Structure 1
Amino acid sequence: MARFMAAWKRTAPWAARNADGAIALGLAIVVGVLGVMPPEIFGAKGTDIQRQLVTASTLVIMALVATALLRDRARQAPVERTITSGALAELPVRLARMEEIETLVHSTRRALDSLQLVRVLGSRQEIAQSHAEARKDTSRWSFKGGTGTYLRAVTLPLCVAAARRDKRHLTVRVEVVDPTNPEVCETYAHYRRSLSDAPDGTGETWTTDRVRKESYATILAAFWHRQRYGLLDIGVGLSSTMTTFRWDVSTTRLIMTVEDPNMAMTALAGTFYYENCDTELRLSFEQARRVPLERYKKVPLGDEPTIEEVQDLFEGIGVPLPKSYNANDVVDIARKALRAVDPYGP
């Protein structure tokens, strides 16, 4: 009895809230019981009486179910109106606001990038990625540094190849140490050796002779590429002073590297640092001794320049090779010009 009362207390509130459903459920149970009972229980006309009871109860159950459905619809109507007229109606407005917020976030990010003076790159991978982004679709490139090894190995060939593929104009300005100036070559070699006596990424150590050959190789590479791509406007300036920095400037960004292969700085076009460094490189190039690249037609170079072609080139442009250089030295310069080893490669 106690269990029955406890069960009743639990079900009574539900039955009160759902009286029509509870009655329908009770009648369904009664109809089910009447349907399975023997007709003889109801007397001589038990079958007719049983059928009438089941039919009447069924109609009552259907009426109660219909009442419950109508009541539920009446309850749901305000909720549906609220959803339809409220949240759903405001959905286009909210989506538009989300798009505005997303646009604002992108604009803010671009603004922060443009306001940022410089960004430090802390690994070879970041530096390589930054160079790749700088080369992408650029129409100009300016370089100022020591001897331009990375420029010969990676930057110049890839920029020229991309420009040739797209059939577009490419302007390149290069400033390296003057190979005919023994003092600046020795100063640069001494600086590089003072940082490390071990071979660099190319497998060579820095000597005065190497500095001289690397600069000669940059001049030779400039002529070689100029002769093979008519839309390349390239200029080379020779500096009598050295710098501890290397600047690479494209249409979209500036990259400044140092001797540490895992450290560099970059700035996007339009920033204060980019614009001022770009101006500095332009003025520095104007003050450097200019290599007469306009004579490129007078000193033709083969796909694999011969010793005589290389010697004639440097004689013809007024940047003669040292008299002490033999055939092996000339071959070494040609190798460095066209098959330079990436100093930052794996």
Structure 2
Amino acid sequence: MGRLKAALRRTAPWAARNADGAIALALAFVVGVLGIMPPEIFGSEGDKIQTQLVNSSSLVIMALVATALLRDRARQAPVERTITSGALAELPIRLARLEEIETLAHSTRHALDALQLVRVLGSRQEIAQCHAEARRDTARWLFKGGTGTYLRAVTLPQCVAAARRDKRHLTVRVEVIDPSDLEVCETYAHYRRSLSDTPDGTGETWTTDRVRKESYATVLAAFWHRQRYGLLDIGVGLSSTMTTFRWDLSSSRLIMTVEDPNKAMTALADTFYYENCDTELRLSFEQARRVPLEMYRKVPLSDEPTIEEVQELFERVGLPLPKSYNGHDVVDIARKALRAVDPYA
């Protein structure tokens, strides 16, 4: 009995809210019961009475169902009017606002990317990967640094090879220490030794003589590659001041490295930092002592330049080798120019 009362209490609120539906359900149950009962229960005319009861109850059920449908339609009418007159009417405006929000989000994302000046690279592998991505399909390369060892060993040969493969133009600007300026060469050698007095990745220690030879080798490499690829536009500037940074700038990104082979910074093209470094490198190159690369036709170099060819080259371009240099020194310069060892390998 208690369970029945509890069930009635639970169903009573629902029945009150849906009286017509509840009555129709009850009548449907009664009609079902009447339909399966034996006609004899209703007397001598049981079939007729049973049929009348079922038909009458069915009509009442249909009336209740129609009432429920009309009531639901009446309830939905205000909602439909609100949707059709309000939300749908405002839909174009809301879509326009959504488009504005998407545009604003895109602009904000672009601004945040521009504000992110640099990303720090923390390993040799990450730096090497970043250089490889910078070289991929680049149409230009700007370099400023000490003597350009990595430039000769990796960057310049691979960029020229890729440009030759695709038969496209390549612009290169290189700024290194002036090998004829003994003071800056000594300053740079002292700086490198102060960081480490052990041999670097090339197996050599830094001396004034090595600094000079490395810079001479960069000049020689520029002439050698220019003579062998007609679509290479290369320029070399010689600086009387040293820098502790090395800048490598391609069409896609800027990479700044230091003496620590596991530390570097990079910035993508079209960012604030990239654009300003691009301007800085261009202005610095314009102020450097320019090597007359346009004379490359007048000083031909063999695939394996001879001592005489190298000496004549530097004489003709106004950058004579020191008189103390012998044949071994000239061969050393040629080796560094065309077979430079990757200092980060």
Partner of 2:304: 305
Structure 2 residue aligned with 1:290: 290
Structure 2 residue matching 1:175: 3-state secondary structure: strand
Secondary structure of 1:238's match? strand
The alpha-carbon deviation at position 146 of structure 1 amounts to 0.6
Question: For 2:52 and 2:234, how far apart are their aligned partners in 1?
Answer: 107
CA deviation map 1:113-138 (0-9, x unaligned):
6567x536353477567656766776
Whole-angstrom CA distance in 2 between matches of 1:280 and 1:38: 106
Residue matched to 2:122: 123
Q: Secondary structure at the match of 2:241?
A: coil
Amino acid at match of 1:27: L
Equivalent residues of 2:253, 2:266 under 8 A apart = no
Q: Secondary structure at the match of 1:121?
A: strand
Distance of 1:144 and 1:46 partners within structure 2: 112
| Per-residue CA distance 1:254-288 (angstroms, 9 max, x = gap) | 5543323414475866858954x556544543443
Note if 1:148 corresponds to 2:148. Answer: yes
Residue 97 of structure 1 deviates from its aligned partner by: 2.0
TM normalised by structure 1 equals 0.79
Following superposition, the deviation at residue 192 of structure 1 comes to 0.6
Deviations along 1:18-45, whole A, 9 cap, x unmatched? Answer: 1111111111111221122222212233
Instruction: Report 1:133-212 matches (<5 A).
Output: 139-161=139-161, 163-164=163-164, 168-212=168-212
Equivalent position amino acid for 1:244 in 2: T
Name the stretch that deviates more: 287-296 or 151-160. 151-160
| Distance in 2 of aligned mates of 1:123 and 1:90 | 53
Q: Residue 267 of structure 2 contacts residue 273 of structure 2 at CA under 8 Å; is this kept in 1? A: no
Distance change in 2, residues 1:34/1:270 (3 Å) = closer
Matched residue SS, 1:296:
helix
Distance 1:156 1:150 in 2: 9
Partner of 1:19: 19
> Is residue 2:336 matched to residue 1:336?
yes
Alpha-carbon RMSD: 3.6
Pair 340,77 (structure 1): closer, same or farther in 2 beyond 3 Å: farther
What amino acid is the match of 2:221? A
Tell me the secondary structure at the aligned position of residue 44 of structure 2: coil
Cα 1:14–1:280 shift into 2, 3 Å = closer
Q: TM-score scaled to structure 2, two decimals?
A: 0.80
Q: Report the Cα offset of residue 176 of structure 1.
A: 1.1
**Mapped contact 2:175–2:239 kept (Cα < 8 A):** yes
Alpha-carbon distance between aligned partners in 2 of 1:250 and 1:28, rounded to the nearest angstrom: 83
Q: Percent identity?
A: 79
1:114–1:292 Cα change, 3 Å: same
Other-structure match for 1:49: 49
Paired letter, 2:118: R
Mapped pair 1:233 → 2:269? no
The Cα offsets for residues 49-76 of structure 1, whole Å up to 9 and x where unpaired, read as 3233223322322332232223222222
| Equivalence for 1:35 | 35
Q: Which sections of structure 1, spanning at least 5 residues, go unmatched?
A: none
Is the CA contact 1:121–1:266 (under 8 Å) kept in the aligned structure 2? no
CA contact (8 A) 1:145 1:243 kept: yes
**Equivalent in the alignment of 2:94:** 94
